[in-house]
């Protein structure tokens, strides 16, 4: 949908949260993306106007970070980590399954506009490799069968819950959350700080280990 006067109002709300207006640019771009499913030329121009920047300055940010898309994204964005740990533990097979099921390749969208897919070099979820994200929500310890089931449920409009407790909505809804606007879901989802994730901290405590203080003081 095109940008509206309400988008400009919400952009100004985001700017007001920061002592330096330019610091608001990243969440502003997420807001633009939530409205249009991409960072459009019009969105870049609106951000530039509100921050007193040139369109080139805003575009340089929008093209640097891979989370900002310059082409329309499908209703759901599926990301598969193919970095070494995830790749070795099944990420490569997951990518093969995903592209075969949907008939698209990296950075492409299905003809019905339902799914876009993306190879991701790291999702910072090595603890639960191989990892997949759906609209940036984690689907941990995935395998081909679970991936096929997830795709089928999303296509049928059935509820899909990430392994960390959050209900999958859609790409644009998640982008609005990343813009920092209240989605009413702050108390949903699970902590997920289980024994696997806390293994390093547990070991350190058991062995009297601690991180050095700033400045090198013990």
pLDDT tens for 28-80 read 999 999 999 999 999 999 999 999 999 999 999 999 999 999 999 999 999 99
- Identify the CA nearest to 157 among candidates 145, 148, 168: 168
Question: Could you tell me the pTM of the whole model?
Answer: 0.87
pLDDT tens digit sequence for 155-172: 999 999 998 888 999 999
* pLDDT band of 217, cuts 50, 70, 90: low
Give the CB-side neighbour count of residue 123, counting CA atoms within 13 A.
29
pLDDT at 1 (0 to 100): 57
Can you list the domains of the chain with their CATH numbers? 5-62 (1.10.10), 76-178 (3.40.30.10)
State the virtual CA torsion across 85, 86, 87, 89 in degrees, nearest 10: 90
Q: What percent of the chain has pLDDT over 90?
A: 76
Environment class of 189 (CB within 10 Å of its CB; exposed 0-12, middle 13-18, buried 19+): middle
pLDDT tens digit sequence for 178-204: 999 888 877 776 656 778 778 888 899
């Amino acid at each position: 949908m095109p940008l509206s006067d309400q988008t400009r109002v919400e952009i100004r709300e985001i700017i007001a949260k920061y002592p330096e207006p330019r610091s608001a640019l990243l969440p502003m771009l997420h807001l633009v993306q939530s409205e249009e499913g991409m960072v459009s030329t019009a969105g870049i121009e609106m951000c530039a106007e509100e921050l007193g920047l040139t369109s080139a300055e805003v575009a340089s940010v929008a093209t640097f970070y891979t989370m900002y898309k310059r082409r329309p994204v499908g209703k759901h964005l599926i990301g598969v980590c193919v970095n070494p740990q995830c790749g070795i533990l099944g990420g490569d097979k997951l990518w093969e399954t995903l592209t075969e099921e949907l008939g698209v390749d990296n950075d492409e969208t299905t003809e019905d506009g339902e799914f876009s897919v993306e190879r991701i070099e790291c999702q910072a979820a090595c603890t639960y490799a191989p990892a997949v994200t759906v609209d940036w929500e984690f689907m941990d310890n995935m395998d081909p069968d679970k991936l096929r089931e997830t795709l089928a449920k999303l296509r049928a409009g059935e509820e899909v819950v990430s392994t960390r407790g959050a209900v999958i909505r859609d790409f644009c809804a998640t982008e609005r959350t990343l813009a920092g606007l209240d989605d009413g879901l702050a108390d949903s989802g699970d902590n997920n700080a289980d024994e696997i994730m806390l293994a390093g901290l547990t070991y350190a405590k058991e062995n009297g280990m601690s991180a050095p203080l700033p400045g090198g003081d013990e």
